[in-house]
Structure 1
Amino acid sequence: MKVKKWLFLPFLGGSSDRERGQRRDRSRSRSRRPSRPENGALVKHESADAFANKGEEELVQDYNAPIRWYMLATLFPLIAGTFGPMASMFNICAIAIPWRLIVDPSSPQSQGEHIDDPRWLVAVNIVSLVIAILANVALLGQMTNRLRFNVASPVTIVGWYISGFIDIALAAVAPSQVPLPADNALATYSQAYYYCIFSGAIYVLLSIMLSCTAWGVWIGNYSSEFKLSLAQRSLMLQTILFLAYVLAAGGVYARVEGWDFLNSVYYIIVTLFTIGFGDFSPETHTGRSLYFPMSVGGIIFVGLIIANIRSLVLESTSVKVSTRLVERMRYKSIKAGSPEDGIVKVRGVLHRDTNAPTELARREKEFEVMREIQAAAAHNNRMIALSMATMAFMILWFIGSVCFWQAEKAVGGNNWSYFEALYFTYTAQLTIGYGDFGPQTNSAKPTFVFWSLIALPTLTVLIGAVGDAVTDFVNWYTVWLGKHAPNVFKILTGMKKRSTVDDTFQEAIEKVGAEIEGSNTNGSGFHNIADIETGRVVPAEITDTAFGHVRLGTVEEAYKPFLMLQAARKAIEHLDEETPRKYTFQEWSWILKLLGEDEATEENHRRVGQPVPENAEVATPVCLSPHQVWSWMGQESPLMSLEEGSEPKWVLKRLMEVLELELKRRGDLHVAKEADITSKEGDR
């Protein structure tokens, strides 16, 4: 199938309802008929066509799609939407003041007398800015689905290439065409010159990234629609508004305090990021009065953007990595073991035997293996996130220190040692800012502005990753303590009766452990609906003798819609739980029986890793024919079916589908029965 190249999507935030419905229909069709297995194990990757037709939510939760496709289709446009406005902000800063400066030796901030720029330099800089703004507008139009891909993408990519090369060329020819006075040792280039270098480099880098995305569209790896959610699309607009706020506040303080415009921008960044070196502070009554609304509004702005970066960008990336890790571990567990003998290999040398004397016990073993794979993948995902965040933090710390170390050797600088640069960078990165060290030179301040715009979100991500890792450990320890608390207390009390405090403490530990494990024995699951331990699909209050000699199958058939609605109500309650609900095997077995499948029989079941019979077809439950089969360890497993994003959503959706068919069948039977009675009465 050839990928549709050009899409016109009329409203902010994604596809129209009709297009979303078409994608859901295609997804449902694909989920019912997965790709043909190879020796019983599904193929490891999906086709580019299947990937191209997925929406943003399906894309994040797609365990078959390679992560590189996700990066090209989602992360690259998102990075471009965030850093593109930043580059234009730097471009404005490159025009704001002249490029050359005679430093005043008495000024602690490397201020002095500016030397006017040639008119051609200002004119070319303005042309670069106008082209870049048009490119940003085109990208924003594409993100809000106001411009088609074939219009917006070339304008954005070519526009940023042109602006980037113009800025880089201007910075390269400046020493020869706009030279510093040779007879003055205090002459240096101003902050505007270095902002020009930053803007040019960012433009070119973003153009390369979007070119890779466009290349993927042209070869058909994914559609021309950016795989972004509404909240992710709004991040570019939020960034534009924040940077406009910084520039506007900088202009006001430049006028009120008499500072250079770029020093004012530096002051605004240091203030809003709560670093506060103290090298710049308002001294006029008007400046101090404006500080109150400016700081509050700006800090709220920063908090909102950083929260969005974590929740929208990084959490979706974490979900993508996690789902991919689950699939890779599942695939490797099957391949590393002996699937033909029912042996799988999990976590290094650990082997799991999925053979059992009964089908129900065998299926339960498969289920537990998948739970173990999920837990291992979740742990690895947290460690990867922690490692990546730590690496980014260290790179910004050490590489940033090198930049500031060299920058402070310029005219007007304090000539720091590398250790002093390390100390300054660390205090700034943690937003402490004692003020004993601060950037002084005209190259250090633009570097600090760019560095801080990256460093603060990185610090937030690192804190979140550390928190997740610590929470994982605390949860594990609490579960372990909850399991072993009775034995521990028996040893400590010498098998004597425990005090009330001991009992209370033990019960609290066991309760917390049960909650973390997702145990549903406390009545919050399906246990109060029916007796799921026995597998009977009848209401819990009905006893075996309630209806005399009526067959159990007749009772189950009569109460089936009633139990479906009760189970759906419980699933809806589970959707609101803070910790994602994970159902036990007993609950899954009962739910599947309610949906028309029996875990105790071999019908519609297969053994993963073993050949599928020729007349059989791998499909997700609920199977629609006797020829459809599935396994807990296959890609068709409910534990792998992440289309709905959680187990309660999967259960709720399947319950509604089966209930719809069941009520339709009962209605047809009732109408047919009434029609038959009416026909017989007419014959009389």
Structure 2
Amino acid sequence: MAGRSQRTGEEDIFEFLYLKWTTLASSFPLIAGALGPVSNLFSIVALVEKWKIVMKDGQFDHFYPDSAWTLALNAVSLVLGVLANASLLANFAGRVKYNLSQAISIGSFYFASVLLVAIIADQYRTYLSMVEQGVEVQFSQGYWSAVITSVLYFACGFVLTLNEIGHLRGYYPANFILTSAQRSLMIQILCITIWLAGGGGVFSRLESYTYGDAVYYCDVTILTIGLGDLHPTRDLSRAILLPYALIGVLILGLVVSNIGTLVISSSQQMLALSRVERLRVRQLKRWDSDATRRTNEDSFNVMRKIHHLAKRRELWTVLGVRVVCFCIFWLVGALVFSKLEGWTYFDSVYFCSLCLLTVGYGDFVPTTPGAKSFFVLWSLMAVPLVTILISSLCETIIGTVVRVTDALGDLTLKNVSSPSSKDVSQVILRKMTTDLELRTRSQPQPDRRYRPRPLNEVDRDNNEVDKALVLINAIQGILTDLHANRTKKYSYEEWNRLAHALDMQFDWLGADSPIRFPVDEPALLLRLYWNSLKVHLSSKRMA
């Protein structure tokens, strides 16, 4: 088991199951870390608000009191949910060991979900009994929040269980594969849920809302939808709303800015590497079965085409998957709202579209307790989905349009455009370099007395100096490339000069090809040239 968790070698890195499990290992903790605080928010609503509403002539009359054991089990479920999230975050921070954290989080999430399911089933039985007795009753946001919480708790426990299965099968070690930026994102999601929960408590007191309505009001405010069905009516509420909304929007902005760059970056990179490797191996097999002789330049060009093809396929494949997921989320959400509110499906699609665009005319608003509870969950899930979709659009369609317009602008306005900041920095860099070179030349040179040496020794020294100068000149050019364009791709001739300077030969389609992986080539070449210069000077000094 230990040996399998520490895989090395080409076949292990790109083996299908290993790749998939390693990719999921970075996604599962993010899912649990994001859903956990949200589930706690709904759990608080389920505990604070009574679960049944007695109606009179279709209007609210009073809340039906919950039993003591219902409140007790509900409170225990909330404590278990908080414990599960605290253990998960403690593991993210390195305070609790992985195995202990997994046992606490998985067990607490599942047990909390089971408790809520038991309470929900009992409340539904009581609801049916009251309906049979002729009492006009309906479930409140507390009940629907409990339903949502039980589903979210189970989902958190399930993804953590899958993560544990991957560890037990030896696909990754006993820790969550998260970067520091991804851990920060989890803290930001926790902050925004705490902000919603705290704001719900404040505005429920100031405006005499139920706690569920207050959380719904805070959610609509922070997401800048502004449906207008609930709004502040007192001066104190308006005064508190201004800083509350501003801070909430700032926290939400942090979450949105990090989601597009952090949540999908690691998994997308792994999938891209896998696609490159499959295309490379396929090309090698095709060439092995073909007797036609291929040059090194042919291999180099094919490897370049493989990277380009893999990147293009990956971008459009990811875009297609995200568009499908977004449409499912949009249309299924509309279906739920149509059932809960009694709208036509077209009206529900129209309502969801306006909310996703944060327009919020207010002509359609959720009015039933179930629709309000579902809206809070749906709108919070819409934030990452819309962000990820926009990120894909920027990389593909929007990116293509921008490149075309930039090219047209360069053709039409080339003579009148002002230098960019990058051009200015290049001028400054060249000016500083020139000044330093002139200053060095103007300094008095040391007195070197002529000592005649054998001709073969002079030739050898000249050759050594020439090689050092070649390496230094190459490093100087690469430093310029690093400043101008870190993602520059070098030509076959430039790579050949490197190979000649290092006295090496590269198999461009082989496992040791320096362009096998999509790395920053200026940084790679700089390291290779620098190491060669260091070895060269060290050997000269020893001689």
Q: What band does the TM-score fall into relative to the shorter chain? A: 0.7 to 0.9
What is aligned with 2:538? Answer: 664
The answer to whether the aligner puts 1:447 opposite 2:354 as a matched pair is: no
What is aligned with 2:33? Answer: 81
What is aligned with 1:359? Answer: none
What is aligned with 1:228? Answer: 178
Match of 1:161 among 110, 127, 142: 110
Mapped partners of 2:116, 2:484: distance in 1: 52
What is aligned with 1:143? Answer: 92
Could you list the per-position Cα deviations for residues 199-248 of structure 1 after superposition, in whole angstroms to 9, with x for gaps in the alignment? 11111122121112111212212111211111112222211111001111
Show the 5 A alignment for 1:304-315: 304-315=254-265
Q: Displacement of 1:317 after TM fit?
A: 2.5
Mapped partners of 1:552, 1:587: distance in 2: 27
SS in 1 for 2:260: helix
Q: Displacement of 1:63 after TM fit?
A: 8.8
The answer to whether the aligner puts 1:370 opposite 2:303 as a matched pair is: yes
Show the 5 A alignment for 1:530-545: none
The answer to whether the aligner puts 1:93 opposite 2:93 as a matched pair is: no
Q: Conserved in 2, the CA contact under 8 Å of 1:635 and 1:641? A: no
Q: Conserved in 2, the CA contact under 8 Å of 1:128 and 1:163? A: yes
Q: Displacement of 1:404 after TM fit?
A: 0.6
What is aligned with 2:328? Answer: 395
Q: Displacement of 1:292 after TM fit?
A: 1.1
What is aligned with 1:462? Answer: 389
**Structure 1 length normalisation: TM-score?**
0.68
Q: Conserved in 2, the CA contact under 8 Å of 1:270 and 1:276? A: yes
What is aligned with 1:212? Answer: 162
Q: Displacement of 1:334 after TM fit?
A: 2.9
Match of 2:190 among 228, 231, 240: 240
- Quick one: structure 1 residues 502 and 441, their matched pair in 2 at CA, closer, same or farther if it must change by over 3 Å? closer
Identity in percent: 29
Mapped partners of 2:459, 2:240: distance in 1: 78
Q: Displacement of 1:372 after TM fit?
A: 1.0
Q: Displacement of 1:636 after TM fit?
A: 2.0
Mapped partners of 1:80, 1:585: distance in 2: 47
Q: Conserved in 2, the CA contact under 8 Å of 1:100 and 1:189? A: yes
SS in 1 for 2:396: helix
Show the 5 A alignment for 1:195-594: 195-335=145-285, 337-341=286-290, 355=294, 362-408=295-341, 415-474=342-401, 555=462, 557-568=464-475, 570-575=477-482, 580-594=487-501
SS in 2 for 1:113: strand
What is aligned with 1:125? Answer: 74
Could you list the per-position Cα deviations for residues 428-475 of structure 1 after superposition, in whole angstroms to 9, with x for gaps in the alignment? 122211110011111111111111111122112212211211245347
Q: Which runs of 5+ in 1 are unaligned?
A: 6-22, 36-44, 52-61, 344-353, 356-361, 409-414, 483-500, 516-522, 529-547, 598-603, 605-629, 670-684
SS in 1 for 2:197: helix
Q: Displacement of 1:663 after TM fit?
A: 3.2
**Aligned residue identity for 2:123:** A
Q: Per residue, is there more helix in 1 or in 2?
A: 2
* Count of equivalent residues: 511
SS in 2 for 1:633: coil
Q: Conserved in 1, the CA contact under 8 Å of 2:23 and 2:266? A: no
Mapped partners of 2:165, 2:472: distance in 1: 49
SS in 1 for 2:119: helix
What is aligned with 1:617? Answer: none
- Quick one: structure 1 residues 506 and 256, their matched pair in 2 at CA, closer, same or farther if it must change by over 3 Å? closer
**Structure 2 length normalisation: TM-score?**
0.85
Q: Displacement of 1:65 after TM fit?
A: 7.3
The answer to whether the aligner puts 1:646 opposite 2:500 as a matched pair is: no
**Aligned residue identity for 1:400:** G
Mapped partners of 2:322, 2:90: distance in 1: 32
SS in 1 for 2:130: coil
The answer to whether the aligner puts 1:175 opposite 2:124 as a matched pair is: yes
Mapped partners of 1:153, 1:194: distance in 2: 28
Mapped partners of 2:77, 2:289: distance in 1: 65
Deviates more, 1:435-444 or 1:315-324: 315-324
Could you list the per-position Cα deviations for residues 613-672 of structure 1 after superposition, in whole angstroms to 9, with x for gaps in the alignment? xxxxxxxxxxxxxxxxx5111232111245xx4222322333343333333323322xxx
**Aligned residue identity for 2:165:** W
**Aligned residue identity for 1:87:** S
**Aligned residue identity for 1:638:** P
Q: Displacement of 1:287 after TM fit?
A: 0.8
Mapped partners of 2:189, 2:149: distance in 1: 16
**Aligned residue identity for 2:353:** Y
Q: Displacement of 1:329 after TM fit?
A: 1.9
Q: Which runs of 5+ in 2 are unaligned?
A: 423-428, 435-454
Q: Conserved in 2, the CA contact under 8 Å of 1:390 and 1:462? A: yes
- Quick one: structure 1 residues 294 and 556, their matched pair in 2 at CA, closer, same or farther if it must change by over 3 Å? farther
